[in-house]
């Protein structure tokens, strides 16, 4: 079972994940304190709209961080379009325009790798629906550092390639529906 002192929750998703994330953010309690970092595949030439769209449902503030911004509690951070988002050891963000990984920038793997390295067993990783393998190695890295791992049940995913790719690599702590993800998050202490 999970412990009670997570310092970060990282969520990755691609095709089909906007509606899943919207429903998760709509149902997370407003006093949720643990910073949530979203790494979503998005169109590189469309720079606005996603924060606004997710904010319509969320009682928690959603922002795109700038390079060297410090993570704050009770905030959801969305990787900016066409930037990799890394989490540093000091709890700040680093943005990068290095080459895409798995044809993606932002890359879920990069965000998850950095969260695993910086927070080890204090990280929780959640991988949602998607159409490629990005995120599979990253969520395994969180598991390897004793963080808690949740994969959306492929049977509930619009496109099951991403969750299935992760399930081919390792056995996560949970394979659950989006509704069960919300229950797990809301069970964490504030």
Tokens matching residue 146:
């004793």
31: annotated active-site residue: no
CA-closest candidate to residue 89, choices 185, 4, 150, 7: 7
Active-site residue, selected from the candidate residues 14, 39, 104, 107: 14
Q: Which residues contact 132 (CB under 8 A, 6 or more apart)?
A: 14, 41, 102, 103, 104, 161, 162, 165
Distance of CA 169 to the CA centre of its chain: 18
- CA angle 103-136-30, nearest 5°? 100
Residue in 39, 41, 58, 84 annotated catalytic: 41
Nearest-CA neighbor of 85 among 63, 67, 60? Answer: 67
C-beta of residue 163 within 8 angstroms of C-beta of residue 154: yes
Is there a catalytic annotation at residue 109? no
Of 84, 109, 134, 153, catalytic: 134
183: Cβ–Cβ under 8 A, 6 or more apart, which residues?
A: none
14 is catalytic: yes
Catalytic center residues: 14, 41, 134
């Amino acid at each position: 079972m999970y412990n009670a002192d997570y310092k970060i929750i990282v969520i990755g998703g691609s095709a089909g994940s906007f509606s899943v994330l919207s429903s998760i953010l709509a149902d997370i309690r407003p006093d949720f304190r643990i910073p949530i970092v979203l790494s979503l595949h998005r169109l590189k030439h469309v720079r606005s709209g996603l924060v606004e769209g997710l904010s319509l449902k969320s009682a928690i503030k959603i922002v795109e961080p700038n390079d060297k911004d410090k993570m704050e509690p009770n905030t959801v951070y969305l990787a900016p379009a066409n930037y990799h988002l890394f989490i540093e050891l000091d709890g700040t963000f680093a943005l990068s325009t290095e080459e895409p990984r798995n044809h993606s920038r932002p890359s879920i793997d990069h965000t998850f790798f950095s969260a695993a390295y910086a927070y080890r067993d204090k990280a929780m990783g959640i991988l949602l629906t998607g159409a490629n393998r990005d995120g599979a190695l990253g969520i395994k890295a969180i598991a390897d550092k004793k963080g808690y791992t949740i994969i959306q049940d492929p049977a509930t995913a619009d496109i099951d390639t991403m969750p299935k790719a992760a399930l081919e690599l390792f056995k996560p702590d949970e394979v659950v529906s989006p509704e069960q993800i919300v229950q797990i998050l809301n069970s964490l202490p504030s």
